[in-house]
Structure 1
Amino acid sequence: MVDEMRKESAVTDLQDRMLEQLSKVIDPELRIDLVNLGLIYGLSMDDNVVTVTMTLTTMGCPISAVLEQMIQSSLEKLPEVDEVKINIVWEPAWSPDKMSQVARMTLGYYN
């Protein structure tokens, strides 16, 4: 039981640190980080390979390759991460409702 709790704590710590790194990845067009934009849907790790499940604000986003490189660079700074894979999904579709309150206020989006 104690070992399971330690393992869960370590996983939570790593996920928190991954989210902290991703909060430093700023969308060059919107000037808000990917976490506050609500673009990150999930993080998983297997054998030191992180898979980021995310979406983009629009299909055919012209800066998707730039964002992917920024995400990889950011997460690879963590000592536990050897490789980053990015899984872009379109379901559920992104909408401004997925943004944090901070992002909404920054962009002047009020609903």
Structure 2
Amino acid sequence: MNEEQAVNREVKLTKELILEKLKEVIDPELGIDIVNLGLIYEIDLRPDNTVYVKMTMTTPGCPLTMWLLQAVEQKVLEIPGVKDAEIELTFDPPWTPDRISDEVRKRFGMI
């Protein structure tokens, strides 16, 4: 068994693990991580250890779109065992503030 196989056995890829890693991506304009902001719509773990992420932006004209997409790809690829990352940008359905987590809503007095 080589080193990579040993690492892959130790780390079980789960959606929860990927979501935790994606919390490290902070929207620089809002100062909130993209998971709690509600930008992540879907995560799919493929049999070949490719991770598919469907996400959105707060607005279609967001000037940070490319930066955020690259940051998401980079964070996913940092997870041991991930072979590749496929990031899809969608605006269907459009993002609304309703997607913000209760945790962040409480912090900002929105609840």
TM-score, normalised with respect to structure 2: 0.80
| Other-structure match for 1:82 | 83
Equivalent residue letter for 2:51: V
> 8 Å contact 2:41–2:55 — kept in the other structure?
yes
Residue segments in structure 1 that go unaligned for 5+ positions in a row: 1-9
| Other-structure match for 2:5 | none
Distance 2:50 2:19 in 1: 15
Give the aligned length.
99
> 8 Å contact 2:15–2:45 — kept in the other structure?
no
Equivalent residue letter for 1:42: E
| Other-structure match for 2:22 | 22
Relative to its length, the structure with more helix (as a share) is 1
Residue segments in structure 2 that go unaligned for 5+ positions in a row: 1-11
Q: Secondary structure at the match of 1:68?
A: helix
1:83 shift after superposition: 1.3
| Other-structure match for 2:31 | 31
| Aligned-pair Cα RMSD in Å | 1.6
Equivalent residue letter for 1:19: L
Distance 1:42 1:23 in 2: 14
1:49-64 alignment runs, 5 A limit: 49-64=50-65
1:103 shift after superposition: 2.2
1:37-48 alignment runs, 5 A limit: 37-46=37-46, 47-48=48-49
Q: Secondary structure at the match of 1:35?
A: coil
Q: Secondary structure at the match of 1:36?
A: coil
Structure 1 residue 102 and structure 2 residue 83: aligned?
no
TM-score, normalised with respect to structure 1: 0.80
Equivalent residue letter for 1:48: N
The percent of aligned pairs where both chains have the same amino acid is: 40
Equivalent residue letter for 1:39: L
Q: Deviations over 1:28-62 (max 9, x none)?
A: 11110011001101101221211101111000211
